[in-house]
Amino acid sequence: MDYFKTTLKKYLDIPSPSSYTKLALEVAKEEFDSLGLETSYTKKGALIATIPGNSEAIAITAHMDTLGGMVKSITADGQLTYHRIGGGAWSAVEGENCQVFTRDGKVYRGSIIPTTASTHIHGLKSYEKRTEETMRVRLDEFVSNKVDVQQLGIQVGDIISMDTRTEFTDNGFIKTRYIDNKAAVAMTFVLAKKFIENKPEKTIHFILSNYEECGHGLSVIPSDTEELIAIDIAPVGDQQTSTEFAVSIAAKDKKTPYDYDFISRLAETAETHQIPYNIDVFNHYSSDASQYIHRGGDVRFACVGPGINGTHHYERTHMKSIEATIHLLYQYCLK
């Protein structure tokens, strides 16, 4: 679990909103290569790492891309408006510090604030609804107009990434932005190391996708894949069975029910090995697996993951949930 936390922090520190995942995936490729796995990229830029086996393959997918933003325009007073990349509420990013990445490699700091941020100036207007029209990136630079910003090299289409504010508490909680889905990425490396030490009979493909938050994460998977398991977050809240202290097995998301028999086998594995688990149904959610199936994929498919409080906001989970997810995947693949 120390290796998991170190790996999680490493990838959290590499900004990777959808479409801006190249660096993070290059680092992942180097890490898989160092473990001796066979690696390759898809044409769309997803990374595949393989532990060869003697029979049909299981593919385990996690998405490297996160939420973020893209510069929409530069205002007359030298601030930035932006489009959101992926989902999430405007209130989730208000007051957060961020980075802006230019196409010529510069990085600038800023903060996300509403146009009516000051209660001393705007009074009750400071509590107005947050929308794309009322939210801005306030740059930490000597700028006061559009030309000043352009001279920094900032332009429409530049990527914006929020600070993660990562914290590991002494009693096992993890608090950060982008547990979705950097925790899953870190889990793939834990599993890779465990499978190198105790090799399954089946071939294992690890797939790190790069557009899941935009709804088209997986486009292709290796042709020998018989079973596809997405590792993703399990929202914790009202009318959900998921908790921060167990692994969740998705029965259905907004796109489709998952493979009923596959879910049953995963649940049986959890029970056999006394792994704490829940089966859950998600209303506003999809995964690499269900997105791939929706594009016509022909494979048995499932989705498992740790229970996350405050998904697409300032997220939190517990190491017990991480451990349970890794344990379930490990035991299932060995079986």
Give me the catalytic one of 38, 94, 167, 212.
212
Side-chain half-sphere exposure of 257, counting CA atoms within 13 A: 6
Separation CA 211–CA 315 (nearest Å): 20
Separation CA 325–CA 235 (nearest Å): 14
Helix ranges (DSSP H) in the chain: 2-12, 22-34, 119-122, 146-151, 179-197, 260-272, 288-294, 319-334
Find residue 59's DSSP bridge partners: 205, 228
Instruction: Confirm whether 212 is a catalytic residue.
Output: yes
Tokens in use for 260? 């009923």
**What DSSP designation does 126 have?**
G
Length of the chain: 335
Which helix H or strand E contains 83, and what residues bound it?
strand 80-85
Q: Are 207 and 40 in contact (CB under 8 A)?
A: no
Separation CA 270–CA 273 (nearest Å): 5
CA 265 to chain centre: 26
Active-site annotation, residues: 212
